[in-house]
Amino acid sequence: MKKKHILIMFCVVALIQLFVPAQMIYNQEKVLNDGKAYKFKTRPIDPNDPFRGKYITLRYEINSFKTRDTTWRRGDAVYVYLKDSLGYAQIDTISKYKLNLKTDYVVAKATHFRSFKNYSNKSARIHFDLPFNRFYMEEYKAKPAEDAIRVRRNDTDLKDVYSLVYVKDGEAVLENVFINDVPIIDYIKEKDNQ
Amino acid sequence: MISKFQKELQTLVNDKIITQDIAEHIDKYYASKEDNKSGRLFTIFGVLGSLLIGMGIILIVAHNWDHFSRSIKTLFAFLPLLIGQSLVGYSVFKAKGKTWREASGTFLFFAVGACIALISQIYNIPGDLSSYLLTWTLLCIPIIYLLRSQAVAILCLVFATYYACNCGYAFTTRGQTPWYYLLLFVLVLPHYIQLLKSKPQSNITSVFNWLFPLSLIIVLGAFTDRYGDLGYLMYILLFGLFYNIGKLPFFDSQLLRKNGYVIFGSLGTVFLLLITSFKWIWRELFVMQIGFATQEMYIASILFLLAFSLLLYSYSRKWVRQFNLYRFVFIIFTLYYIIGFKNATIPTVLVNVLILALGIMAIKIGADKMHFGTLNYGLLIVAVLITCRFFDTNMSFVLRGSLFVTVGAGFFIANYLMFQKQKKKT
């Protein structure tokens, strides 16, 4: 290969390598700045990623919806349309495809479909995972964060645990997780000091 | 300091075996070889150093530094990447040696991974491990060609395999087919082909001769969707393809330890045949309703066509000098498989006969070529076959015992006879 070609190739490769993470940042910042904020009631649990470290997995209260459609399959994209109810996000409707609605939506992934053939009064439910279910934390804080909620789950002090998510054009960015309106990291610090 | 070797050379000169001139030439020749060796060692340590530093950075990043602001974390995300790119740029434009190229490439590989990992953390970007591995590997494949780096090629192949396993073999939920693995594989392949052309005998090429088939063997199972039992057929076809690749004159003329294809092909075929020599496997297949328009069938068909075309090509080029049953196992097994849909007993019996024939064939090849390894490999196949039949047949203990004694005696006699034959020859 000629030196000129190598130079061009090197520049292209270096630019792509810089562009991809920069694009990731840009997309997230756009949603954080322009998106609408929703609070999703949640419960955290603590797993691990070999490269990206400790995070808490968030299990949301809204994770299923009644449906009469029996063709749902695991792994299908679920368009979840949101509405605000008493300050928290609720499901307006769901769909397999993008609908022509003005309400905000996020794209979830179908986990399982449960039908109740024997119970005529209940229709089937499609269960799904919302896409913003990871919250990265410092390695020594993820486990205490989970414990803070698990140990006190019956505590009246622990009224609401929610994640603050910005939504725009189907993109969602998880900004922070709050326990009783205090960011989870500060909440753990407070508990440690006590 | 005068080495022992130089002392010996001096003795030869003093005894007038060689002239002073020749002694100097010999000394220079070996000195240049030593230089080459130390250069290679330096490269290996350079790569190891970069590997450790790179992985160290990833681990430090994985700590998740909560008390830094978003902008500082972003800066730290790009810092190793920029350093890595500068080092690679320096290696390329200053036309640095192998050590520089390999070490800087390895460092950049991990710097890219660390950068995406940190951005994912800062913004809590969802996406599982497999999508992260895919982006990472895709961004690093061009470095292979830019630097002609073997270490980065190996890393890309290893991470492509990791991606496919993470994506395809899901333990809790059903995995997805890692189709992008094929893209990654095809993108790394030209580098391997180039190596085969330019350095067919070198050690690094033989490393790839093992890694490429190994990666495919690990990953193939992830390409099964609903009909996992068709995996047996897919794997036999893959091993058949490998065996026939390994028997191409290009690979066959090399040392056996440099020919991963033939070893994986042969061992894999025998191993799978031994598994399918149990009747319950065929009973399961017998009840299974397989649609022909399935993902597994398509992949099996492609593998069959590839292996079959290669076999035909080898015959047309007159590369096949004598009959070798191992080359045809994939065709025979496919026929058994078709019978297996209708009847479970016939293929079970036929697979047992096939293994026995393969064992005898290996013994014969070993005896003809005076190769102890092949001879004992054949005997081992027969011995394992008999052991397997211990579990599902109602043979009397006396008969089973006698069979073992016979095979054991066979080991001694065959080796002894060959030893004698070899002695006579020498």
Helix spans in B169-293 (H): 180-198, 203-220, 231-246, 249-252, 260-275, 279-287
Q: Is residue A28 part of a domain?
A: no
Residue in A closest to B95 by C-alpha: A3
Integer Cα distance of B320 and B328 in angstroms: 12
What are φ and ψ of residue A119, in 5° steps? -110, 105
Integer Cα distance of B348 and B336 in angstroms: 9
Beta bridge partners of A80: A94, A106
Side-chain-facing half-sphere of B228: CA atoms under 13 Å:
8
Taking each helix axis as running N to C, give the angle between helix B329-340 and helix B279-287, from 0 to 180 degrees, rounded to the nearest 10: 60
Q: Is residue A164 part of a domain?
A: yes
Integer Cα distance of B250 and A44 in angstroms: 57
Q: Are B327 and B247 in contact (CB under 8 A)?
A: yes
Q: Calculate the alpha carbon distances from B97 to A98, B19, B90, B147, B301 in Å.
A: 54, 36, 11, 10, 45
Q: Is residue A42 part of a domain?
A: yes
Put simply, the answer to whether A138 touches B174 (Cβ < 8 Å) is no
Put simply, the answer to whether B124 touches A185 (Cβ < 8 Å) is no
Q: Is residue A11 part of a domain?
A: no
Give Cα B272 to chain centroid, integer Å: 17
A185's CB contacts (< 8 A; 6+ apart) are A137, A138, A141, A145, B66
* A80 phi-psi bin (left φ>0, alpha ψ -120 to 50, beta other): beta
Q: B211 to chain A, minimum CA–CA distance in Å?
A: 23
Per-residue pLDDT tens digits for A41-71: 887 666 777 777 778 888 888 888 888 777 8
Side-chain-facing half-sphere of B102: CA atoms under 13 Å:
19
Residue type, B5: F
User: Which residue among A17, A55, A74 sits closest to B174, beta carbon to beta carbon?
Assistant: A74
Q: Are B326 and B269 in contact (CB under 8 A)?
A: yes
CB of A50 within 8 Å of any CB in chain B?
A: yes
Residue type, B382: V
Taking Cα atoms as reference points, which of B306, B298, B315, B236 lies closest to residue B271? Answer: B236
Q: Are B84 and B104 in contact (CB under 8 A)?
A: yes
Per-residue pLDDT tens digits for A82-110: 988 878 898 988 988 888 888 899 999 88
- Six token digits for residue B114: 């660390």
Q: Are B366 and B376 in contact (CB under 8 A)?
A: yes
Residue B71 DSSP SS3: helix
Question: Which DSSP symbol is given to B177?
Answer: P
Q: B110 to chain A, minimum CA–CA distance in Å?
A: 10
Give Cα A154 to chain centroid, integer Å: 24
B36's CB contacts (< 8 A; 6+ apart) are none
User: Which residue among B112, B126, B173 sits closest to A17, beta carbon to beta carbon?
Assistant: B112
The helix (H) or strand (E) run that includes residue A105 is strand A105-114
Residue with tokens 């319950």: B280
Residue with tokens 């790009």: B78
Integer Cα distance of B377 and B411 in angstroms: 10
Mutate to test the interface with A, among B55, B58, B61, B64 (most CBs of A within 10 A): B64
Neighbours of A34 (CB within 10 A): 11
Domain of A58, in residue numbers: 33-193
Asked whether the predicted pLDDT for residue A149 surpasses 60, the reply is yes
Helix spans in chain A (H): 3-34, 142-151, 184-193
Integer Cα distance of B421 and B401 in angstroms: 30
Integer Cα distance of B332 and B225 in angstroms: 25
Per the document, the length of chain A is 194
Residue type, B412: F
Side-chain-facing half-sphere of B273: CA atoms under 13 Å:
31
pLDDT, block means (10 residues), chain B with 426 residues: 75 86 84 67 84 84 77 87 93 85 93 90 81 93 92 95 88 73 95 92 91 95 80 93 94 88 94 90 74 83 95 90 89 91 86 92 86 88 86 74 83 83 77
Q: Is residue A134 part of a domain?
A: yes
Q: B392 to chain A, minimum CA–CA distance in Å?
A: 39
Integer Cα distance of B112 and B269 in angstroms: 39
Taking Cα atoms as reference points, which of B317, B181, B303, B163 lies closest to residue B247? Answer: B317
Integer Cα distance of B150 and B44 in angstroms: 11
* B127 phi-psi bin (left φ>0, alpha ψ -120 to 50, beta other): left
CB of A128 within 8 Å of any CB in chain B?
A: no
Give Cα B217 to chain centroid, integer Å: 8
According to the model, what pLDDT value does residue B186 have?
96
- Beta strands at A124-129 and A36-45: parallel, antiparallel or unpaired: unpaired
Query: How deeply is B168 buried, as exposed, middle or buried, from its count of CB atoms within 10 A (0-12, 13-18, 19+)?
Result: buried
Put simply, the answer to whether B129 touches A134 (Cβ < 8 Å) is no
Per-residue pLDDT tens digits for A9-35: 889 999 999 999 999 899 888 988 888
Put simply, the answer to whether B126 touches A10 (Cβ < 8 Å) is no
Q: Residues of B with CB below 8 A from A25's CB?
A: 74, 119, 122-123
User: Which residue among B78, B115, B146 sits closest to A13, beta carbon to beta carbon?
Assistant: B146
Q: Is residue A65 part of a domain?
A: yes
Q: Residues of A with CB below 8 A from B62's CB?
A: 49-54, 139
Integer Cα distance of B153 and B159 in angstroms: 10
- CB burial of B353-373 (b: ≥16 within 10 Å; e: otherwise) equals ebbeebbebbbebbbeeeeee
- CB burial of B107-121 (b: ≥16 within 10 Å; e: otherwise) equals bbbbbbbbbbbbbbb
Q: Residues of B with CB below 8 A from A6's CB?
A: 92, 146
Q: Residues of B with CB below 8 A from A55's CB?
A: 64, 121, 124
Q: Is residue A20 part of a domain?
A: no
- Six token digits for residue A73: 């399959």
Q: Is residue A88 part of a domain?
A: yes
Query: Complex ipTM, two decimals?
Result: 0.75
Taking Cα atoms as reference points, which of A117, A118, A60 lies closest to residue A90? Answer: A60
Question: Which DSSP symbol is given to B65?
Answer: -
Give Cα B218 to chain centroid, integer Å: 9
Asked whether the predicted pLDDT for residue A121 surpasses 50, the reply is no
Segment 70-109 of chain A within 8 Å of chain B by CB = 74-75
Number of domains in chain A: 1
